[in-house]
Structure 1
Amino acid sequence: MAAAASAAACSASGSSAGPPRPGNTSGGGSGDGGSSTNTSTSGNAGSTSTGDDIGTGTGGSDPGPELVGDPKTCAEAAANKSYIGCDFWPTVTANIVWSIFDYAVVVANAGDEVAEVEVTRDGASVAHAEVQPNSLTKVYLPWVPELKGPDAGVCASGESISSSVRVDGGAYHLVSTRPVTVYQFNALEYKGAGGPDGKDWSSCPGLRMCPSSGDAYGCFSFTNDASLLLPSTAMTGNYRITGQQGWRSASMGGYAVITGIQDGTSVTVNLAQGASVIAGDDIPATPGGGSFTVDLDAGDVVEILGTPSSDLSGSLVTATRPVQVLTGMPCVQSPVGYKACDHIEESVFPAETLGKRYFVAVPTSPGGEVFGHVVRLYGNVDGTALTYPSGRPDGAPTSIDAGQVVDLSVVKRDFEVVGDHEFAVSTFMLGAEIVDRNTAPPDQKGDPSQSHATAVEQYRTKYVFLAPSDYDESYVDVIQPLDATIMLDDAPVDVEPTPIGNGSGFGVARIPLGPGNDGAHVLTASAPVGIQVIGYGSYTSYQYPGGLNLVLIAPPPPPPN
């Protein structure tokens, strides 16, 4: 079964508000991913009776002292296990964005010495950069067409990859002489401006007339997202896929992208019951509950594509050596039926780094509003009991099993969730039609993006993060103890956190971001906090966890029965 994004599903003509944007179809067929129906892709979701009350509990156990400091050397970074490191594997994922927009990684250096950065692919040098102390550098890299898939047409719609893909030597390898943080942007710019020095945007397809509408769409990317890349020293061989279900009415499947970082790695993918894989290269067609194995050397990439009616989430990836795993979709609406569609992607956290306590905060919307987001819960251990000290959101389960996924659909308030075993939480931003509803088309900002909630156990007291100047609005949402003192770029933050529940001791502070140091920011706190970084442009957005510790705090999940 082909997994392609049809023109009809990704845009709709005839709008009186100007040229249509990708994802403008208003209807979502029954069973489409991200619909307003609460779903569980496999297993028993436990009790899901209405529970949107405000609780008064005190939540889970104290997260304890922070275990990870700021590494000064690559050896310290390897030992400390956090998002800071010296060895990364940027990997292109499928996106129908026009290729004139740039795939890029942004490297931030919070140290006090210059970081020399070298990027190679399959042993050949691609780029070199110097990153000054307390600064960042954008490194533009060529797309890998086999992994990216085809571009949209001049009418900003088109088909994406239709089968699973293997590209030997398909990943980039980024090595730094000093500890750095790395984010990949697919794509970086959201409008036809900026890019490498001397870039000429005159050939942008959006400047040409769309025959079906008689208008030009304008040079906008429409489908962007960003991923926090994890250093290889924090990777493991165990991952529970934390993605989104396919978009059936648009024939768009989700994918998992696995990158080998050491030669001679054997990777087995045990599919969740609700998953189904489309064959491609040496990846076999595999139904839910099945498994397959691939062998990877350093830099080899497999992009495993699910059928549009299935969900790879909950599947278990096990490898004989550490690997990198990303999840995403070429384009998706959130929820289905609300424009517009956007590319989503994010790094998957190793299963051994998952925690038992999460605060899930609604992302700040354009203009500083707060409207909601889609939340998904992923089980990692059978019989995990879940409690909600701040009150249980509608449809939230009281227990979850390994490989089970529960879709809470649109959640409009912040909440706390605690398990007696580790589990995972992902969040998905809503379409511009919802989050920028007070702005008339075609000037709305926003669209879907994926991020992962960070376990309280992996919070930090210092973050170096990026909010690119390429976007119109950027925010950092800080989940913090109510009495914590926050400093941003050496200035005290005077935003009062909004309490989460009545008695958790935590709240969320929503902080607009200025330009910083060319988009680089440093946040410090008197107690461990978690952060989400958010940005908006015309019908596009990004969100990613701004960083986290990646201490091994959980056992590897047992193999499926």
Structure 2
Amino acid sequence: MRLFSYLSVCLTVLAMLAGCSDDSERGSKQVTCPPGQTLNPIFNTCHANSGGGNLDTGGGSDVDQDTSTGPGPDTGGGQPDTGHQIPPDTGEACEANARHCESDSMAAVCVDGSYVKSTCPQGYLCRRGHCEATGCLANAVRCTSNTQYQVCLASGEFGEATTCADGKACVAGQCVGGCSVNLKEKSNLGCDYISLRHDIVNPPFGGAFVHSVVVSNPGNAAANLVVTSPELPNLSFPNTRVEPLSSLVLDFPNTIPVNTAGVSRRIFRIASDQPVIATQFAPLNNPGALKESSDATLLLPVNALGSKYITLGWRGLSPRGGYVDIVAASPGTTNVTVSSPIKLNGGAAGSVAAGGTTVFTIHANQVLHLVEDQGFGASQPSRDVSGIIVEGTQPIAVYTGATLVNIPDGPDALAAGDHIEQQMFPTNTWGTTYLAVPFKSRAAADFSIFRVLAMEDATTVNFNPAVTNNTSSTVLNRGQYFEFRSALAVEVTADKPIQLGQFMIGGEINPSPGDGDPAFVLPAAIEQFRDDYVFLVPAGYRRNFVTIVAPSAEQVVLNGSTVDASQFQSFGSGAWKYAIMPITAGIHTASSSKPFSVLLHGYDSYISYAFVGGIILPE
């Protein structure tokens, strides 16, 4: 690494400390600078040689920060030169660019192999190893509700809330006017969704179930829906109008389940003239005794879909294993390349050998149903569909699931099963920090199972606190996952993008047998957090809970009331807190001044559900 003058290093470190990133963040791959320019090892960018003068930090745009911390402009990056001097380094060996907080007012960053410390300037606090502004940047805009926004004043405080014009909703600090304009932000808010009736275990445990999609309208103008299916040309619904700040339940027929390997047109499309939110339930409400099978998934709008995915799932039970459903969302022909560690059966469309790659061709509104095909029986147990790489020549929707699972499986399997289903997130939207908070405990022996999936080779993943077998760090290659069990909240960080999956274990938990069953959800990375949510809690479940994870210093408003600080617990590095609270069935709202997460889950007799309340999908 080339050395700058002492003043240049001071300004460089202060600029980096003012950014917004994660604890224990590691350096990215270095670039090669052209002649006459010098590499800034902190920002990993090139600058003109300064000859010992002040280093140009480039304002906020060059700061190594999270790709997105939620809707609205970033108020934490690119701070002015404070003139503070950096004391001598501590001499503690460290990895380049690693950072942490010594205290609320002191940040430490690794420069040239040793930690150096700096006192945060007035108006800043150390958060996740960076000095972050306690106020806001002038002219920054944030949504305070689904229909209101605030603008930051020159004083560093947000002004009075302003209401969007009729027919518009506030998204990422902008008043969005219906679906006639492109949504600038990719999130779970959109105008076009794809729904499938995924494969569920045969009767009596689910064969006759309908699946439902709850469409919520966060705006102040009514949304009109058009629901179609290429397989059911006469499909109709008695009501397709969603009033402002309300939800509508669409119950779909169970006549076209996607349960046969191959290509079909067994999908549903939900189009809206206003931005809406869609959550799929299978089924929506508790179906009752001897019919216990349910799960839920947040649906992604078509504008938020990607072309590259790596799947995560769980092992299905014989005689039917896990599956992957791939839908062509764009007009024309889409070629889909599938590389799988296990054998997959695609019926007449072809198959994928274990460790092999196959290219499939599907057309608009067709679904390719690939089924795990390892063979069954005591000597050939089924395998889950995790680590399958799926790439399309156009945007595609990808879902995984299993008709029936026991979680956990193997020698400690619990005798209570359920189906699972989940829509996958494109790999270009994954994050590097996840906050793994277990589901509400049902008994002293209860725990959640988490899987961390890697997008790239040589991905280092850190756990705070340490997890299974006292593991505090592990290294994964592309498509590999690390599984751990925990009854405690864990901060999970990585030096490259990862995906976190969370699994609810079966209901045979002493001393509370029969309460809940397996469920599967993809918690949001902190880069995917929103600052406002609208969600529906299904009816008929004996116990429903909301899990809220927020920055440690922030307040969260739930249904118009601030959540009491006593509800929260700190964990990990101390930068985050979580609360798990009972919640009633019906429509709810949540908001905060900074991005946070909402996850819903519920239990009843051998039945359960789990889904995230919303998500931002940064690229």
TM-score, normalised with respect to structure 2: 0.67
Equivalences for 1:64-143 in 2 at 5 Å?
68-69=172-173, 71-74=176-179, 78-96=183-201, 97-122=205-230, 124-127=234-237, 128-143=239-254
- Indicate how the Cα distance of structure 1 residues 321 and 400 shifts in structure 2: closer, same or farther if over 3 A, else same: same
Structure 2: runs of 5+ lacking an equivalent:
1-102, 109-126, 134-139, 143-170, 374-380
1:254 deviates by 1.0
Letter in 2 for 1:238: K
Equivalences for 1:324-473 in 2 at 5 Å?
324-336=397-409, 337-366=413-442, 371-394=446-469, 397-408=473-484, 410-434=485-509, 437-439=510-512, 444-473=514-543
- SS class of match (2:183): helix
1:504 deviates by 3.0
- Indicate how the Cα distance of structure 1 residues 74 and 499 shifts in structure 2: closer, same or farther if over 3 A, else same: same
2-structure distance, mates of 1:61, 1:403: 31
- SS class of match (2:213): strand
- Indicate how the Cα distance of structure 1 residues 245 and 99 shifts in structure 2: closer, same or farther if over 3 A, else same: closer
Letter in 2 for 1:356: T
1:279 deviates by 4.1
Question: CA offsets, 1:400-432, max 9 Å, x none?
Answer: 111112222x32211111111101110110111
Say whether the 8 Å CA contact 1:255–1:329 is kept in structure 2. Answer: yes
User: Is the counterpart of residue 523 in structure 1 residue 594 in structure 2?
Assistant: no
Question: CA offsets, 1:111-153, max 9 Å, x none?
Answer: 1111111210015543341111111111111124441x4xxxx
More strand by share: 2
- SS class of match (1:399): strand
User: Is the counterpart of residue 221 in structure 1 residue 331 in structure 2?
Assistant: no
Say whether the 8 Å CA contact 1:126–1:141 is kept in structure 2. Answer: no
1:377 deviates by 1.2
Say whether the 8 Å CA contact 1:190–1:538 is kept in structure 2. Answer: no
Letter in 1 for 2:394: R
Say whether the 8 Å CA contact 1:375–1:426 is kept in structure 2. Answer: yes
Letter in 1 for 2:172: V
- SS class of match (1:371): coil
1-structure distance, mates of 2:180, 2:582: 35
- Indicate how the Cα distance of structure 1 residues 485 and 72 shifts in structure 2: closer, same or farther if over 3 A, else same: farther
1:383 deviates by 0.8
- Indicate how the Cα distance of structure 1 residues 72 and 365 shifts in structure 2: closer, same or farther if over 3 A, else same: farther
- Indicate how the Cα distance of structure 1 residues 412 and 268 shifts in structure 2: closer, same or farther if over 3 A, else same: same
Question: CA offsets, 1:357-386, max 9 Å, x none?
Answer: 11111011459x893111111110111112
Corresponding residue of 2:363:
297
Question: CA offsets, 1:224-261, max 9 Å, x none?
Answer: 101100000000111111212344xx333111111111
2-structure distance, mates of 1:100, 1:61: 54
User: Is the counterpart of residue 266 in structure 1 residue 334 in structure 2?
Assistant: yes
Q: Which has the larger radius of gyration?
A: 2
Say whether the 8 Å CA contact 2:186–2:618 is kept in structure 1. Answer: yes
Corresponding residue of 1:508:
578
1:545 deviates by 1.4
Question: CA offsets, 1:319-362, max 9 Å, x none?
Answer: 11111111111110111220210111111001110011111110
1:267 deviates by 3.5
- SS class of match (1:281): helix
- Indicate how the Cα distance of structure 1 residues 227 and 62 shifts in structure 2: closer, same or farther if over 3 A, else same: farther
- Higher alpha-carbon deviation: 348-357 or 411-420: 411-420
- Indicate how the Cα distance of structure 1 residues 61 and 119 shifts in structure 2: closer, same or farther if over 3 A, else same: farther
- Indicate how the Cα distance of structure 1 residues 292 and 264 shifts in structure 2: closer, same or farther if over 3 A, else same: farther
Corresponding residue of 1:546:
613
1-structure distance, mates of 2:311, 2:415: 26
Question: CA offsets, 1:54-90, max 9 Å, x none?
Answer: xx99758799998934744225663211100110011
Letter in 1 for 2:192: D
1:268 deviates by 2.7
1-structure distance, mates of 2:597, 2:132: 12
Corresponding residue of 1:188:
284
2-structure distance, mates of 1:63, 1:386: 25
Query: Kindly, what percent of the aligned residue pairs are identical?
Result: 27
1-structure distance, mates of 2:538, 2:555: 25
Question: CA offsets, 1:521-559, max 9 Å, x none?
Answer: 11111211012111222211110111110121xxxxxxx
Corresponding residue of 1:288:
354
Letter in 1 for 2:348: D
1-structure distance, mates of 2:477, 2:530: 29
- Indicate how the Cα distance of structure 1 residues 146 and 463 shifts in structure 2: closer, same or farther if over 3 A, else same: closer
Corresponding residue of 2:262:
165
2-structure distance, mates of 1:100, 1:172: 18
Query: Which of 309, 315, 332 is the aligned partner of 1:245?
Result: 315
Query: Which of 303, 311, 321 is the aligned partner of 2:384?
Result: 311
Equivalences for 1:192-203 in 2 at 5 Å?
192=288
Letter in 2 for 1:126: S
Give the root-mean-square deviation of aligned CA atoms. 2.6
1:291 deviates by 1.3
Question: CA offsets, 1:251-305, max 9 Å, x none?
Answer: 33111111111232323343343x2112413132x22221112222222111111
Q: Which of structures 1 and 2 has the larger relative contact order (alpha carbons within 8 angstroms, sep 6+)?
A: 1
2-structure distance, mates of 1:115, 1:356: 35
2-structure distance, mates of 1:370, 1:384: 32
1-structure distance, mates of 2:593, 2:558: 12
- Indicate how the Cα distance of structure 1 residues 263 and 352 shifts in structure 2: closer, same or farther if over 3 A, else same: same
Corresponding residue of 2:305:
235
2-structure distance, mates of 1:60, 1:293: 45
- Indicate how the Cα distance of structure 1 residues 512 and 270 shifts in structure 2: closer, same or farther if over 3 A, else same: same
TM-score, normalised with respect to structure 1: 0.74
1-structure distance, mates of 2:504, 2:576: 22
- SS class of match (2:428): helix
Question: CA offsets, 1:8-28, max 9 Å, x none?
Answer: xxxxxxxxxxxxxxxxxxxxx
Letter in 2 for 1:429: M
Letter in 2 for 1:265: T
2-structure distance, mates of 1:320, 1:451: 27
- SS class of match (1:80): coil
2-structure distance, mates of 1:315, 1:276: 10
Say whether the 8 Å CA contact 1:276–1:310 is kept in structure 2. Answer: no
Corresponding residue of 1:497:
568
Say whether the 8 Å CA contact 2:529–2:595 is kept in structure 1. Answer: yes
- SS class of match (2:266): coil
1-structure distance, mates of 2:173, 2:315: 37
- Indicate how the Cα distance of structure 1 residues 104 and 496 shifts in structure 2: closer, same or farther if over 3 A, else same: same
Letter in 2 for 1:143: N
- Indicate how the Cα distance of structure 1 residues 60 and 100 shifts in structure 2: closer, same or farther if over 3 A, else same: farther
Corresponding residue of 2:395:
322
Say whether the 8 Å CA contact 1:459–1:530 is kept in structure 2. Answer: yes
2-structure distance, mates of 1:396, 1:314: 23
2-structure distance, mates of 1:245, 1:343: 11
